[in-house]
Amino acid sequence: MSIEIKIPAVGESITSGVLSAWHKKNGETVREGEALFTLETDKISAEIPSPGAGKLQIQVDAGQEVKIGQVVALLDESSKAAPAEGGKPSGPAESKKSSEPAEAAASALQPDANQTLSPAARRVVEEEKVKLSEVSGTGKHGQVTKSDLVQYLESKSRPERPAQPSARPEAAVPASVPAPASERTIRRKMTPLRKKIAAQLVLAQQNAAMLTTFNECDMSAVMQLRSEYQESFQKRHQVKLGFMSFFVKAVVDALQTVPAMNARIDGDDLIENQYYDIGVAVGTARGLVVPVVRDADKKSFAELEKAVAAYAEKAREGKLGLDDLTGGVFTITNGGIYGSLLSTPILNPPQSGILGMHKIQNRPVAIGDKIEVRPMMYLAVSYDHRVVDGKEAVTFLVRVKDCVEAPARLLLQG
């Protein structure tokens, strides 16, 4: 008897996806609960487990678009794996023969028995068909990391140039020959996530009257506070005190001060949210995702830092669920970690506002009658002018600035 392996439903609005990678080979015997393949949709990337045990018969190749409910493989239950104990012992020849497929599968992913891979690194290996024996690991005990794999692929993508002989005065300079078209460009299909990002950005530009206002923020007080309490904070909560928790708290305070920024348009209605679920943009190898920190107004600094760190880890490993990405009322994005000095962030529909953080840079500023060098950050808030007036947007951004420059406000609500 065979079990049909179908594409499961992963969300009400999701009707299709891409079967990006098989984690088992055709004809391989799998156990119930083992990861069979990775399904990528426009919102999440998920590893789909085996519904039973048996020999795998793949019917859809990796990289193909699939529909929800589509049969992509069969499991032959008559070929279940032999039990680890209590079964009939096999002879030397049979034992060697049965171990060959497992050894081949293992050798495709690891150069030696001690090599282990993170889920993110394993996905790169399987999707790009990387031979780990050719990759130098820089991780603990020589483990190959995702960064090692990315560097390896980048080096492979650059065509090697033959050594040029030393130039002679009498030799004519040869005319340059353009590289073949296949080496000059790479064509690949957009992933569902990248398609979704593209659609969302175009939607924001077309359907909102988007405007951006700017200000700058003196980060001296926050940096001094972090420096003074970082060690005790990390010792007590097992997480670093970063900048993001201060900005999340400041945004919540500003949303409470300017309720119009916490509203959105739905048809002919204006919906004003009474809760504070804040999206924090996270950059990944697959694209930008925005997991949502729920009830940010009720969380402590430590709880906010832990939530953001957990989401960042899940995003890097491609394990964010649909519930992690929906329902936010406002978004914060930090281009400063990449060195951006100033930018105009694009709205995350249907939200009406997004705050852009940027690089901290020492600049001379006037403090009273003196010129001092302070660590300054440019802030930008983009907003939907249909919902938010200019005065409200400026008031919102100034409130964020005031809270960050005087962190005591976040504690005293002053």
Per-residue pLDDT of the chain (414 residues; tens, 9 = 90+): 788 888 887 665 577 788 878 888 888 888 888 888 888 776 677 788 888 888 888 988 887 888 888 898 988 877 655 444 444 444 444 444 444 444 444 444 444 434 566 666 776 777 677 777 777 777 666 777 766 777 777 676 555 444 444 444 444 444 555 555 557 888 877 777 677 778 777 877 788 889 999 999 999 999 999 999 999 999 999 999 999 999 999 999 999 999 999 999 998 899 999 999 999 998 877 778 899 999 999 999 999 999 999 998 888 887 887 788 889 999 999 999 999 999 999 998 899 999 999 999 999 999 989 999 999 999 999 999 999 999 999 999 999 999 999 998 887 765
Determine whether 385 is an active site residue.
Answer: yes
- Can you read off the two tokens belonging to residue 183? 């080496």
In 3D space, the residue among 411, 413, 404 whose CA is nearest the CA of residue 355 turns out to be 404
Tell me how far CA of residue 139 lies from CA of 30, 147, 295, 316, in angstroms: 30, 10, 37, 17
Q: Give the separation between CA 222 and CA 219, rounded to whole angstroms.
A: 6
Instruction: Please state the φ and ψ torsions of residue 264, each to the nearest 5 degrees.
Output: -150, 160
Determine contact, residues 209/381, Cβ cutoff 8 Å: no
Tell me how far CA of residue 156 lies from CA of 6, 153, 265, in angstroms: 36, 5, 49
Query: At CA 301, angle to CA 297 and CA 306, rounded to 5?
Result: 105
Determine contact, residues 17/322, Cβ cutoff 8 Å: no
Report residue 132 CA to chain centroid gap.
Answer: 24
DSSP 225-259: HHHHHHHHHHHHHSS---SHHHHHHHHHHHHHH-G
Q: In this structure, how many other beta carbons lie within 10 angstroms of the beta carbon of residue 414?
A: 10
Q: Give the separation between CA 194 and CA 14, rounded to whole angstroms.
A: 15
Work out whether strand 370-384 and strand 353-357 pair parallel, antiparallel, or are unpaired.
antiparallel
Determine whether 389 is an active site residue.
Answer: yes
pLDDT of residue 104: 43
The answer for residues whose C-beta is within 8 angstroms of residue 333's C-beta and 6 or more apart is 280, 281, 288, 345, 354, 355, 356, 357
The answer to whether the pTM exceeds 0.75 is no
pLDDT of residue 359: 96
pLDDT of residue 166: 44
- Which residue out of 76, 237, 297, 385 is catalytically annotated? 385
Tell me how far CA of residue 346 lies from CA of 156, 204, 267, 396, in angstroms: 35, 7, 21, 17
pLDDT of residue 232: 95
pLDDT of residue 310: 93
Strand partners, 408: none
Q: Give the separation between CA 394 and CA 231, rounded to whole angstroms.
A: 36
Place of tokens 């007080």: 221
Tell me how far CA of residue 271 lies from CA of 261, 265, 310, 320, in angstroms: 11, 6, 30, 27
Work out whether strand 269-272 and strand 45-49 pair parallel, antiparallel, or are unpaired.
unpaired
pLDDT of residue 80: 59
Work out whether strand 330-334 and strand 353-357 pair parallel, antiparallel, or are unpaired.
parallel
The domains found in the chain, sorted by start residue, are 2-81+99-139 (2.40.50.100), 192-412 (3.30.559.10)
The one-letter amino acid code at 14 reads I
